[in-house]
Amino acid sequence: MKILITGGAGFIGSHLCDTLLAAGHEVVAIDNLSLGRKANLAHLEGDARFRLVIGEILDDTVFAPLVAGGGFDCVFHMAANSDIARSHAAPSIDFDRTFLTTFRVLEAMRGANIKKLVFASTSAIYGEAGGLVAEDHGPLSPISHYGAGKLASEAFISSFGENYGIQSWITRFPNVVGGRATHGAVFDFVHRLIADRTALKVLGNGKQVKPYLFVSDLVDAIMTVFTRCDEPTNIYNVGVETTTTVADIARFVLEEGGIDAPIVYTGGDRGWIGDVPQFAYDISKLTRLGWRASMTSDEAVRRAARAIWAESL
Ligand SMILES: NC(=O)c1ccc[n+]([C@@H]2O[C@H](COP(=O)([O-])OP(=O)(O)OC[C@H]3O[C@@H](n4cnc5c(N)ncnc54)[C@H](O)[C@@H]3O)[C@@H](O)[C@H]2O)c1
């Protein structure tokens, strides 16, 4: 297939580019480099089946012509604002980058008659729903603008599916970690320590506890859902059954960096307004496809810390 990946220079998008090329597809990535990095794709330079377009999805003079003339069979829509805390002060960041990019992708697909969409959704759409949350949980009450932007995106993917026959694979990710990260707790802690090795500042009380999935496992799960499911709309939670506390993330980052420094907590049960301090996913729908994460949440965080230290020094 010829595949368009939005946000292809980002953390997850760049790993997806690798996997799709390895599977024999032709790949075009578009990214405005607001959070992504050209370096994440530098190793693909010279690959005749790959092209990076540096451009803005919300710019009609760039995106619609790219999609219209591209001959794409499928779009993997990964572009979004991934800095959840930032939009508390400026909600339009998530309206534009998390929601409106999806709408523009759908409109461009409608115009170009592209019928397959893989979408990066998130556990944030569930807000602070208690218990083990399954795909059919409702009503959905996100508590971050980011979660709201993703939920609105899912709603339009549903209506575009019904109106124009666009088939979708909506994969709802937990926290994802690994090399080439552009954000997230492991990335932030490493960079805080590079700036100041005498102490590690941690937002909240360190007791936030969530599942962390390694990026190669995530990409493998997305590909499992994409290749094995064929309903008009395919919605799957992606995750791992184990969890890691923020205090343990801080400890793993210090240990992997070989640094002995105190951890200073800012206090409070969450890192920022809109942060969901703990959640648990029901991933049984995915495991029924025969998929399982290859490592625990703790192993994923440790491995990510090692990779991010190695690429940051
Ligand atoms: N990393 C996680 O833990 C996680 C969890 C749940 C969902 N997700 C979702 O997965 C997707 C990928 O996330 P990521 O962690 O790789 O983040 P990322 O920020 O590294 O990747 C997103 C990419 O999109 C690009 N982008 C943003 N707005 C754009 C625009 N208007 N035009 C063109 N490019 C634009 C950014 O430059 C960036 O490279 C996102 O949709 C994110 O919401 C990520």
Helix (H) or strand (E) holding 252: helix 246-257
Tokens 């932030």 sit on residue? 188
The count of domains in the chain is 2
Q: Please state the atom number of ligand 1 nearest to the C-alpha of residue 40.
A: 39
Q: Is the pLDDT of residue 85 over 90?
A: no
Whether residue 97 lies inside any domain: the answer is: yes
Query: Who lines ligand 1 at CB under 6 A?
Result: 7, 9-13, 30-36, 56-58, 78-80, 82, 97, 101, 120, 122, 173, 175-176, 182, 184
CA of 293 to the centre of ligand 1 (A): 22
pLDDT at 83: 87
Same domain, 202 and 134: no
Nearest protein CA to atom 1 of ligand 1, as residue:
176
Question: Residue 302 belongs to what domain range?
Answer: 178-211+241-279+295-312
Average pLDDT over the chain, rounded to an integer: 96
Q: What pLDDT digit, counting tens, does each position of 100-144 carry?
A: 999 999 999 999 999 999 999 999 999 999 888 999 999 999 999
Same domain, 167 and 47: yes
Same domain, 207 and 218: no
Q: What pLDDT digit, counting tens, does each position of 36-67 carry?
A: 999 999 999 999 999 999 999 999 999 999 99
Same domain, 164 and 25: yes
Long-range contacts of 22-27 (CB under 8 A, 24+ apart): 23/223, 25/1, 25/49, 26/1, 26/2, 26/50, 27/2, 27/3, 27/51
Ligand 1 mutation target, pool 12, 122, 240, most atoms within 8 A of CB: 12
Q: Please state the atom number of ligand 1 nearest to the C-alpha of residue 175.
A: 3
Same domain, 187 and 61: no
In sequence order, the β-bridge partners of residue 4 are 28, 75
Same domain, 307 and 207: yes
Q: Quick one: tokens of 283? A: 């991933």
The pTM of the full predicted model, rounded to 2 decimals, is 0.96
Same domain, 172 and 203: no
CATH number assigned to the domain comprising residue 196 = 3.90.25.10
**Read out DSSP for 13-38?**
HHHHHHHHHHTT-EEEEEE--SS--G
